[in-house]
Structure 1
């Protein structure tokens, strides 16, 4: 049986049937560093009045941004969303929406992404920003302790994240 994947991320088999992306019909179309694109149908993701639920937009945005952050974290790394904001510009009542995720800023331990969601006519329906905490994979990172009182590199050459 093939493993279920969400972009580059393998889904734990014990949770395959519980994936929100599957329930919402989210499909990842493009998955590369610097660009993640996905689609989601309106059907099945509506508010009681028949338009796309804003929460579904948020799930699409967080999914695409999290995949982008996971790609940035590199093999063996990980990423987790810590802040999501969505501005809903117009409602959609039929068809499919497409989310395009691009990095705003990628640093050692934090990355931010903009996700632009458009309808089938190319009209922007939602703009989201996702910030993720990043744990880089592979190798040692600057400033990590090997043992109490012992650093991998001297304190005076560590870089700061904020510039």
Structure 2
């Protein structure tokens, strides 16, 4: 708009374009630079699991799923604050990276599986923090941690029926 106004010799419109357009452009570029893409589902969720989710998922499981599957701005990695508080992120370079999530049923209970690339934090450290993870994401959640490949850790947040 400012270029057109300049070409037509209308300095007032040119100033509006300059004073509003440049800050909007810079703001948009800053947001794009601070953008964190959504974590993908590694396996599509079946209708049976969606039904189980509606019945059993805890508010925390829903919040985690919703947070990591949308664009985020101003964060370096998904769940970075949570991992730091749990003692699983010694520093930014060694932080485990959430690379995927999936939903499944474990022993008839809804489970949200967080798939991490964790080359610097060994399975033993994850297992030592398992109870702390349960308390952090609980109540109503049981956590299992397992290593599926050399540097890949899966943390299963399993809904617990408290009857």
Q: Tell me if TM exceeds 0.5.
A: no
Which structure dedicates a bigger proportion of its chain to strand?
1
TM range (shorter): under 0.3
TM-score with structure 1 setting the length: 0.26
TM-score with structure 2 setting the length: 0.26
Which structure dedicates a bigger proportion of its chain to helix?
2
